[in-house]
Amino acid sequence: MKTLIVHAHPERQSFCASMKRVAAETLRREGHEVVVSDLYAQQFNPVATAADFGSRARADYLVYAMEQRHASAAGTLAPDIAAELEKLQWADLLILNFPVFWTSVPAIMKGWIDRVLVSGLCYGGLRFYDRGGLKGKRAALSFTIGGQRHMFEPDGIHGPLETYLQPLERGTLAYVGMSVLPAFTAWHVPYVSDDERHATMDEYRDWLRQLPAATPKRFPSMDDFDRKLRPLRSAGAVEA
Ligand SMILES: Cc1cc2nc3c(=O)[nH]c(=O)nc-3n(C[C@H](O)[C@H](O)[C@H](O)COP(=O)(O)OP(=O)(O)OC[C@H]3O[C@@H](n4cnc5c(N)ncnc54)[C@H](O)[C@@H]3O)c2cc1C
């Protein structure tokens, strides 16, 4: 399996950065090919602007997604976007590895999503969910988090973790057509003992080894909606 790990942590000695190294080692040992995009190390530019396009469909007004479609077809996307897109198109499996920042990914990774998941190739024109441009690929979230597991239970103070993950798992990865595998959460890592952290890393290795055979989560099928995206059957048929 060809795996792209997109990693975003500003500290190379962090637990999250250790997870990135462990992921690459473990998957390679299992016989998979691995490429890593280390966004802070690459000083990846996360800001979507007109400079992302070497040619423009419309020079007087920036419609970013329209220019993504134009530039990807014309081969005039900025070189850093084109390089990341090439890795993404090569990969069978995408792992986003990050510390949770404000219930989401760090801004540098959000910028990777904004700039690299280009309209036209990855989605667009009723090509999303199971008709998305990246259909056939798999994806998973792998993250560290400050909070403790009980805080993210259905009756916990923050509510269910699934709610936090939905913009990423459903709104992004499933939206562009990828099959989303169950995530790995490294809970509370700055506050636990070294022994507990080592145990978490062992669990992470197990998760990585089981990833190729993991059952994807269920997300909407376009077959269940009409052309205006109204449900054809009961809403229960499309619950995540
Ligand atoms: C802007 C911001 C927003 C945040 N928002 C949220 C939020 O919404 N919800 C939430 O719950 N939390 C939030 N947090 C907390 C954040 O998610 C955690 O601090 C982070 O995920 C911890 O992971 P880390 O990799 O940075 O840990 P680190 O602090 O880097 O690592 C913890 C310890 O592990 C050690 N370590 C490194 N490698 C290994 C190894 N291989 N084996 C054993 N130990 C090792 C390190 O030396 C360190 O002592 C936020 C933090 C910030 C800065």
Q: How far is the CA of 213 from the centre of ligand 1 (A)?
A: 28
Q: Where are the domains of the chain?
A: 2-224
Q: What is the pLDDT of residue 240?
A: 46
Question: What is d(CA 43, CA 21) in angstroms, rounded to the nearest whole number?
Answer: 19
Question: Is the CB of 100 inside a 6 Å radius of any atom of ligand 1?
Answer: yes
Q: Is the CB of 167 under 6 A from ligand 1?
A: no
Query: How far is the C-alpha of 26 from the C-alpha of 34, rounded, in Å?
Result: 10
Task: Write down the H helix ranges in the chain.
Answer: 15-29, 64-74, 79-90, 107-116, 161-168, 194-210
- What DSSP character marks residue 37? E
pLDDT tops 90 at residue 62: yes
How many residues are listed for the chain in this entry? 240
User: Which CATH architecture is the domain 2-224 placed in?
Assistant: 3-Layer(aba) Sandwich (3.40)
Residue 228 CA, distance from chain mean position: 27
CB 204 within 8 A of CB 19: yes
What average pLDDT does this structure show over 32-47?
Answer: 98
Q: What is the mean pLDDT of residues 68-92?
A: 98
Q: What is the pLDDT of residue 233?
A: 72
> Is 0.85 surpassed by the pTM of this model?
yes
The string of pLDDT tens digits covering residues 108-161 is 999 999 999 999 999 998 899 999 999 999 999 999 999 999 999 999 999 999
Residue nearest to atom 2 of ligand 1 (CA): 101
Q: How far is the CA of 189 from the centre of ligand 1 (A)?
A: 6
Best residue among 11, 100, 148, 185 to mutate for probing ligand 1's pocket (most ligand atoms within 8 Å of CB) is 100
Is the pLDDT at 239 greater than 90? The verdict is no
Name residue 154's amino acid. Answer: P
Residue whose CA lies nearest to ligand 1 atom number 51: 101
More confident residue, 36 or 125: 36
User: What phi, psi does 212 have (nearest 5°)?
Assistant: -60, -30
Largest alpha-carbon pair distance within the chain? 58
Q: State pLDDT tens for residues 49-59.
A: 999 999 999 99
Q: Ligand 1 mean position to 150 CA, how many Å?
A: 17
- 235, pLDDT greater than 70: no
What's residue 234's pLDDT? Answer: 59
**Structure tokens, 30:** 């299992």
Q: What is the pLDDT of residue 236?
A: 52
At residue 165 the predicted structure's pLDDT band, cuts being 50, 70 and 90, is very high
Tell me, using a 6 A CB cutoff, whether residue 192 lines ligand 1: no
**Region 182-187 average pLDDT:** 98
Q: Above pLDDT 70, what percent of the chain?
A: 97
Cα 191 to averaged position of ligand 1 atoms, centre (Å): 9
Atom of ligand 1 nearest to the CA of 147: 11
